């Protein structure tokens, strides 16, 4: 397993890392984002969105569990923080196997519904503007993706 870690020092750096990941994503990819309130999950999602050519502003879907955006690839932005029943089936599978990229904030809250292969990104608060990003790929596709990111030297 290729686990990758980066320290980013600003919101822009977080978005830059997300951009590089976004550029490698394909239909059917599922990204789980974990981290405390305000860690930067939505910020990271914005970075992915811009690299998918999405012009619309991506924001926290506070009362909406699922938002769809249309770019070169569709982006399905899920935030399951307010989902009351972790087994409630909102048709997640259709998104995971659909024709776009799915990004899930607080993914562990629906862990029993997640696909077996997934790229989980943990975002840890270090200081007001610094974060540690830890990429944990599960499955061949995401291990490969992480290798490509390493080869590209993501922080450049």
Ligand X SMILES: Nc1ncnc2c1ncn2[C@@H]1O[C@H](COP(=O)(O)OP(=O)(O)OP(=O)(O)O)[C@@H](O)[C@H]1O
Instruction: Note the residues at the interface with ligand X (CB under 6 A).
Output: 8, 10-11, 13-14, 35, 37-43, 60, 105, 129-131
**CA–CA gap between residue 103 and residue 139 (Å, rounded):** 17
* Residue 124 bridge partners (DSSP): 132
**CA–CA gap between residue 53 and residue 134 (Å, rounded):** 25
Could you tell me the smallest distance in angstroms from the CB atom of residue 20 to ligand X? 15
Please identify, using beta-carbon distances, which residue of 56 and 97 lies nearer to ligand X.
Answer: 56
- Which positions lie near Mg ion, rule CB under 5 A? 41-42, 60, 105
Measured at the alpha carbon of residue 37, what is the angle toward residues 11 and 2, in degrees to the nearest 5?
65
Quote the DSSP letter at residue 61: -
Please identify, using beta-carbon distances, which residue of 108 and 147 lies nearer to Mg ion.
Answer: 108
Please identify, using beta-carbon distances, which residue of 14 and 92 lies nearer to ligand X.
Answer: 14
Could you tell me the smallest distance in angstroms from the CB atom of residue 16 to Mg ion? 19
């Amino acid at each position: 397993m290729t686990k990758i870690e980066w320290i980013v020092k600003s919101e822009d750096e977080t978005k830059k890392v997300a951009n590089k990941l976004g550029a490698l994503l394909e239909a059917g990819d599922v990204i789980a984002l974990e981290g405390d309130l305000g860690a930067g999950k939505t910020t990271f999602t914005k970075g992915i969105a811009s690299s998918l050519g999405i012009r619309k502003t991506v924001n926290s879907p506070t009362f909406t569990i699922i938002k769809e955006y249309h770019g070169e690839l569709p982006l399905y932005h899920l935030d399951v923080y307010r989902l009351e029943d972790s087994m409630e089936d909102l048709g997640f599978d259709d998104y995971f196997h659909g024709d776009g990229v799915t990004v899930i904030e607080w993914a562990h809250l629906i862990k029993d519904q997640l696909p077996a292969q997934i790229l989980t990104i943990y975002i840890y608060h270090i200081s007001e503007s610094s974060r540690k990003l830890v990429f944990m790929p599960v499955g061949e596709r995401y291990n490969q993706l992480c290798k490509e990111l390493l080869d590209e030297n993501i922080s450049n």
